[in-house]
Chain A
Amino acid sequence: MTVACHATGGGTPPAEVTAVLLVGNPNVGKSTLFNTLTGARQSVMNAPGTTVELHHGTWRATGLALVDLPGTYSLVPRTPDEEVVRDTLEGRPDAVALVVVDASALSRSLYLLAQVGTRRPVAAAVTMLDVARARGTAPDLARLEEILGVPVVAVDPRAGSGLADLADAVGRARLLRGLPETAGLPPLEAADLLFGWVDGVLARLDPPAPAPQTRSDRVDRALLNPWFGGPVFLLAIWGLFELTTAVAAPVMDLVDGWVSALADAARAGMAGAPGWLSGMLVDGVLVGVGTVATFLPLLAIIYVALALLEDSGYLARAAVLADRFMRVIGLDGRAMLPLVIGFGCNVPAVAATQTLPSARQRLLTGLLVPWTTCAARLPVYVLLAGAFFPEHAGTAIFGMYLLSLVLVVGGGLVLRRTVFREVRREPLLIVLPAYQRPHLRGIARSVWARVQGFAIKAGGIIVVTLVLVWLLMAVPARGTAAVGDDVPVEDSLYGAVAASIAPAFAPAGFDDWRFSASLVTGFVAKEVAVGALAQSYAVADESADGLGEHLRTTLDATSGGHGAAAALAYMVFVLGYAPCLATASELWRRFGGSWTLRMVALQLSVAWLAAVAVFQVGSRIGGLG
């Protein structure tokens, strides 16, 4: 491709330009610019062979392909995300680079512009002019264009200003001239030479000196203060936790009610159809789609909350405040947010790993999330603890939360020393963006794209799996019932699978098909494990008094009289054994099937070993009868 070296006018780039790569430092408004330019015409996919997300879209005004690369400070990468930026730039010599330059941090942005502009035509989109003006450092952009010799356009992606000039700027993109030769030099020497060039540009530009103190500085005096900022940070993560539980639950219940009503209507409407057909369409496909639909408002709420934290600039402060705690397992301070959200629901917690700056950190955090004991596991603990430890139910449940923390920290330490050995213990070195008012329209666009991504990709996996589960329950393994009839659970293929799994739990004291069946159902959704137990016993009362008596009888029999130890082992297994289907689908969507399957295998192994250890110790030493 050749790029025209003349102005095209009319805001239209020449036909030779087919693709534009958006490059820039983190937090410079690059993604907001991408969302504004592409609108809804965008998709999210992983860079080849990585778990790094690339946003592809079509620039509405020009029809050009636009790729939003991860934020980076340099083309000398320190993280997989930065490697993707370098590799994409090297692999797309046909594309023009539109470098987003932060007017409030010109030196840093010009350094990146120099690295990119050495090898390909570039144009500069200057953002954050409002911040620079507030700090008294706004540069003269006409003078900057004259010095650089490449197009320089002021844009405000939030307000949508300057966008018309961008297309023309891309058409006039060209190589940066007068850069020092850095090929073959060690990175530090090359950086020195490039910063020498940057200093020369800034000397000619002569921007005003920055004000000694900014509005953000005054806010940070409170929010970074350990005595005041710490409680504010705890309040923020408590708010996120509440969003995943108290706020989202009624909305999810509402959607669930609609889906149930729709399913009832569909069943009634298909009264004359064969049982297998209505069963598959209603109990398989429709219930599957309904499960996906119930998660959409929850995900939307969390995405909006995270985008508000990120857009406002607070997320970077959260990383500073939580750094010393997360450093224990070698993670960025921002990893605390997904892990806390995980105690509400694992699905948005996996989604929240997007706020972490490096792909390996996102993966490591994502793999730890299923060990955070989500609210859906609580009904199982309440039932078992109430039935077997009525005097100490609270302590038993608290123990589960404590064990969850041990699994997260222990799992993190072990993974860091084995599979994630190469994840460096990064020093805290983070740019704090100025506080800004979040851009709601941009947030809405990005949230819509992400929720759509979940519905299409993770949703597909959920629906297919639920149809398979329905099939297992509808196909009789014994007895006289036909496919699609009301097959008793113990006579179905599902019951047969559960019965064949049950002996594996003999060392943990709960070798019973009803318990293993509840674990299979619990994989679909943890909270329905209790319902599955009640269904297996044909008991309507799911309380510790009603169902509890049956559970005590069964576990006393399977454990040789150590029912309480077996119950504790079952609770431990439920805590750790596998992410639920929706979480597994989200893990699959973000990190791929290989990592998800390895994680499920690891969790099953750890949970089984822990359950066996609890039962063996509890029944022999602990005296748990």
Chain B
Amino acid sequence: MQLSDCPLGADVTVTAVDPSCDACLRMHELGLRVGTCVRVTHRGPAGTRVVAVGASRVAVDAQTASRIEVAVS
């Protein structure tokens, strides 16, 4: 499942991040890397997702969210 399709409030684990994505390293640095447990906390405008990574919150646009594969924890 892609992070963009993830239901609100579900605890999921990142299983893959599209390595061709330009911001792959930055996603990694912000905690969106394989093995991390995350949770979508909000849906914003234009498909934006706010993701809880540990105690911090990261907003990701719909296109970037679609490049992150997750599985329900």
Contact = CB atoms under 8 A, between A and B. Distances in A.
Given A73-B29, A191-B25, A427-B64, A323 B46 contact: yes
Contacts of B50: 220, 224, 320, 432
Given A188-B28, A427-B23, A220 B42 contact: yes
B59 interface: yes
Q: Name, among A214, A229, A320, the residue most crowded by chain B CB atoms within 10 Å (CB to CB).
A: A320
B55 A132 contact: yes
B15 interface: no
Interface string A313-344: 00010011101100000000000000000000
B63 A427 contact: yes
A326 to B, nearest CB: 12
Contacts of B52: 210, 217
Interface in B39-55: 39, 41-42, 44-46, 48, 50, 52, 54-55
Q: Name, among B42, B55, B59, the residue most crowded by chain A CB atoms within 10 Å (CB to CB).
A: B55
Contacts of B63: 427
Given A429-B26, A429-B27, A432-B50, A105 B44 contact: no
B72 interface: no
A137 B21 CA distance: 32
A261 B26 CA distance: 57
A315 B56 CA distance: 16
A328 to B, nearest CB: 12
B30 interface: yes
Given A220-B41, A226-B45, A432 B57 contact: yes
A187 B41 contact: no
A431 interface: yes
A211 to B, nearest CB: 8
A245 interface: no
Nearest to B44: A224
A336 B24 CA distance: 26
B26 A78 contact: yes
Interface in A373-428: 424, 426-428
Interface string A506-533: 0000000000000000000000000000
Nearest to B11: A212
A327 to B, nearest CB: 8
Q: Name, among B24, B59, B63, the residue most crowded by chain A CB atoms within 10 Å (CB to CB).
A: B59
B45 A430 contact: no
B25 A187 contact: yes
Contact of A428 (B33, B39, B48): B48
B56 A427 contact: no
A324 B46 CA distance: 7
Nearest to B23: A427
Contacts of B21: 427
Contacts, number: 116
A216 interface: yes
A315 B33 CA distance: 26
Nearest to B17: A188
A41 interface: no
A316 B56 CA distance: 13
A74 B54 contact: no
A195 B33 contact: yes
Contacts of A225: 44
A111 interface: yes
B1 interface: no
A107 interface: yes
B55 A137 contact: yes
Contacts of A191: 25, 28-29
Contacts of A106: 54
Contacts of A104: 55-56
B57 A74 contact: no
B23 A426 contact: yes
Contacts of B24: 188
Given A188-B24, A188-B25, A432 B45 contact: no
Contact of B30 (A76, A217, A319, A429): A429
A205 B70 CA distance: 27
A550 interface: no
Contacts of A188: 19, 24-25, 28
B42 A224 contact: yes
A453 interface: no
A86 interface: no
B60 interface: yes
Interface in A75-123: 76, 78, 104-108, 111
23 contacts: A73-B26, A76-B29, A78-B23, A105-B54, A105-B56, A137-B55, A188-B25, A191-B25, A217-B42, A220-B42, A220-B57, A224-B42, A224-B45, A316-B59, A319-B59, A320-B45, A324-B45, A427-B21, A427-B22, A427-B61, A429-B23, A430-B58, A432-B57
The 3 lowest CB-CB distance pairs between A and B, nearest first, are A428-B61, A210-B55, A105-B56
Given A210-B55, A220-B42, 6 more contacts: A137-B54, A188-B28, A221-B42, A324-B45, A429-B26, A432-B56
